[in-house]
Amino acid sequence: MSEGLLRTTLPDRAGAALRDTFLQQALTIATTKFIDLRRESFEGFPQGEALRDRARAIKEATLQHLDVHLERLADNVERLGGTVHWAATAEEAREIVLRLARDRGVRMAVKSKSMATEEIDLNEALEHAGVTPVETDLGEYIIQLAHEKPSHIIAPAIHKTKGQVAELFSRELGGRFEADPEVLTAVARRALRQKFLEADMGITGANFAVADTGTVVLVTNEGNGRMVTSLPRIHVALMGIEKVIPSMSDLVVFLAILARSATGQKLSSYTTLVRGPRRAGELEGPEEFHLILLDNGRARQIASTLREALYCLRCGACLNVCPVYRQIGGHAYGYTYPGPIGILLTAMLKGNESVRELAHASSLCGACKDVCPVRIDIPRMLVELREHLDREKIAPWSERVVFHAFRRLLLSPAAFRLSARAGRWLQRPFVRAGRLRGLPLLLGRWTRTRDLPPVAARTFRELWKELR
């Protein structure tokens, strides 16, 4: 059930993605569009830069006293009549949801998009227990019907064509539907409206939780977040412990930059602030509200390498600008969280072993850090992660040997000079069209997918000597 370590290799998965011509086209269009929308929205927003600094400072300060903020959040949620659950692991979180569902005779649960529930593989667990989970975000609904996994944090179904969606809906929902997004959206609206009204339980994640007031905040565009928190008799919210923020004054700082970073909107269509179960006098709203606080590997990073990854807002901006993500898409990463931040989150949640290959799926260009609304230094952490993999001997031996040799070479001017000369001579049979091609052994695997420039006819050091 849990994804554990993958059986396929990253090069296999990346290769499959590169051969998928529709995926290639969809990725280019989607990521380019998101980049443009984000840039335009920040261009007309001069205070944006200061707000990003402020948002980062809030995350730093909150983490510094995370225990205090979580206690305050829990106390306030309980004061409002909600129940707080503490889940140290994914398994515990699943158990809590399943027990709630079992005890209350839940047959169907409607879900609004939540990466945290993906992270704990909640849907499979619910199905096993005889509860039907229904994803209600349109993209997630498509993915669920197709039995696939999301390929982008905020646009989970960008890898599917409208033709594929029409076929899928026709087969799964009964009917003949035209391959028109407008028509297909209307089809999903009708099918899901019924589910919202019938479901016993609504399951959400949380974009933020305000400690001061006991408020869980959901940001959506479709309105499904509002449906699942208003109509079913039970609302269960699952959140990573790093989502807590101190106050409403902090919340508005994040709101000002979250949607801009994700979709270029000033605000998403709906920002929903939930303060416990429905109150006396209210006609609607859940009778029960449960908040599950999930650790699952987060706490141990508070004082460790991946600390900054705990600032992440899950906006997806770093995916769109990443030259690796833009080529291989989300599935090739193999885990719940794709893209540059996804590598760090995977290491956090599943351990360093799980990113043995992924830690290298970055050119360290730094574009991710530039667009991150809270300026997470992803490249620095990736480098540190690579260092860990080497030190813990998780990296393959060949890689360790090559890099250690390379290090030696760079540290000794004489060895470097000598190797340049030797290289010029050794490379002769492999230089084609100004590039090294078809190198033997391990080096061949490198040059198969990468351009390696040959050693120059005259090295910089030689030219420098002449010039002087």
Partner 1 sequence: MAGRAEFLERIRREVAKTPGLFGASTAPRPPRPAAAAEAIRRELAERWPQALDRFRQEFERVAGVFHRVPDLAAVPDTIAAIARERGARRLVTWDPAILGFDAGARLAADGCAVVAARAGQEDEASRLRHRADAAAAQLGVTGADLVLAETGTLILLSGAGRPRSTSLLPDVHVAVFGRDRLLESLEQVGVMLEDLHVDPDAAMSGAMINFITGPSRTADIELTLTRGVHGPKEVHAVFVEAP
Window 57-86: residues binding partner 1 (CB under 8 A): 57-58, 60-67, 70-71, 74, 80, 84, 86
Q: In angstroms, what is the minimal distance from the CB of 364 to partner 1?
A: 24
Q: Is position 221 an interface residue for partner 1 (rule: CB under 8 A)?
A: yes
Strand, coil or helix: what is 203?
strand
Q: In angstroms, what is the minimal distance from the CB of 280 to partner 1?
A: 7
Q: Is position 171 an interface residue for partner 1 (rule: CB under 8 A)?
A: no
Query: Per-residue x/- marks for partner 1, 97-136, CB under 8 A?
Result: ---------------------------------------x
Other C-beta atoms closer than 10 Å to the C-beta of 332 total 24
Q: Is position 288 an interface residue for partner 1 (rule: CB under 8 A)?
A: no
Window 324-343: residues binding partner 1 (CB under 8 A): none
Nearest residue (CB) to partner 1, 145 versus 420:
145
Please enumerate in sequence order all residues whose Cβ is within 8 A of that of 74, keeping only pairs 6 or more positions apart, or say none: 84, 291, 293
Q: What is the Cβ-side half-sphere exposure of residue 381, based on CA atoms within 13 angstroms?
A: 26
Nearest residue (CB) to partner 1, 14 versus 274:
274
Q: Is position 26 an interface residue for partner 1 (rule: CB under 8 A)?
A: yes
Quick one: which segment of 121-129, 244-252, 426-434, 437-445 binds partner 1 (CB under 8 A)? 244-252
Q: Is position 306 an interface residue for partner 1 (rule: CB under 8 A)?
A: no
Strand, coil or helix: what is 149?
coil
Tokens of 75: 């106390």
Q: Is position 29 an interface residue for partner 1 (rule: CB under 8 A)?
A: yes
- Alpha carbon distances (Å) from 209 to 84, 182, 245: 13, 34, 6
- Give the span between the Cα atoms of 72 and 90, in whole angstroms: 23
Window 40-59: residues binding partner 1 (CB under 8 A): 54, 56-58
Window 130-149: residues binding partner 1 (CB under 8 A): 136-139, 142
Taking Cα atoms as reference points, which of 384, 373, 379, 274 lies closest to residue 59? 373
- Give the span between the Cα atoms of 13 and 33, in whole angstroms: 25
Taking Cα atoms as reference points, which of 241, 251, 296 lies closest to residue 271? 251
Q: Which of 144, 204, 230, 296: binder of partner 1 (CB under 8 A)?
A: 230
Q: Which of 223, 366, 379, 454: binder of partner 1 (CB under 8 A)?
A: 223
Quick one: which segment of 255-263, 361-369, 390-398, 413-421 binds partner 1 (CB under 8 A)? 255-263
- Alpha carbon distances (Å) from 396 to 390, 392, 393, 404: 8, 11, 7, 12
Nearest residue (CB) to partner 1, 12 versus 36:
36
Q: Is 264 left (phi over 0), alpha (psi -120 to 50) or beta?
A: left
Nearest residue (CB) to partner 1, 144 versus 362:
144
Q: In angstroms, what is the minimal distance from the CB of 22 to partner 1?
A: 10
- Give the span between the Cα atoms of 373 and 409, in whole angstroms: 39
Q: Is position 249 an interface residue for partner 1 (rule: CB under 8 A)?
A: yes
Nearest residue (CB) to partner 1, 94 versus 369:
94
Q: Which of 155, 309, 312, 315: binder of partner 1 (CB under 8 A)?
A: 155
Q: Is position 268 an interface residue for partner 1 (rule: CB under 8 A)?
A: yes
Phi, psi for residue 203 in degrees, rounded to 5: -120, 130
Q: Is position 88 an interface residue for partner 1 (rule: CB under 8 A)?
A: yes
Tokens of 13: 């998965």
Tokens of 295: 């650790």
Count, residues near partner 1 per rule CB under 8 A: 103
Q: Is position 443 an interface residue for partner 1 (rule: CB under 8 A)?
A: no
Q: Can you list the alpha helix ranges (DSSP code H) found in 224-286? A: 224-230, 248-262
Q: Which of 212, 384, 390, 399: binder of partner 1 (CB under 8 A)?
A: 212
Taking Cα atoms as reference points, which of 122, 102, 119 lies closest to residue 110? 122
Q: Which of 50, 252, 401, 456: binder of partner 1 (CB under 8 A)?
A: 252
Contact 109, 133 (CB under 8 A): yes
Q: Which of 118, 135, 222, 288: binder of partner 1 (CB under 8 A)?
A: 222
Give just the sign of the alpha carbon dihedral 29, 32, 34, 36: negative
Q: Is position 284 an interface residue for partner 1 (rule: CB under 8 A)?
A: yes
Q: Is position 242 an interface residue for partner 1 (rule: CB under 8 A)?
A: no
Q: Is position 251 an interface residue for partner 1 (rule: CB under 8 A)?
A: yes
| Exposure string for 228-242, b = 16+ CB within 10 A, e = fewer | bbbbbbbbbbbbbbb
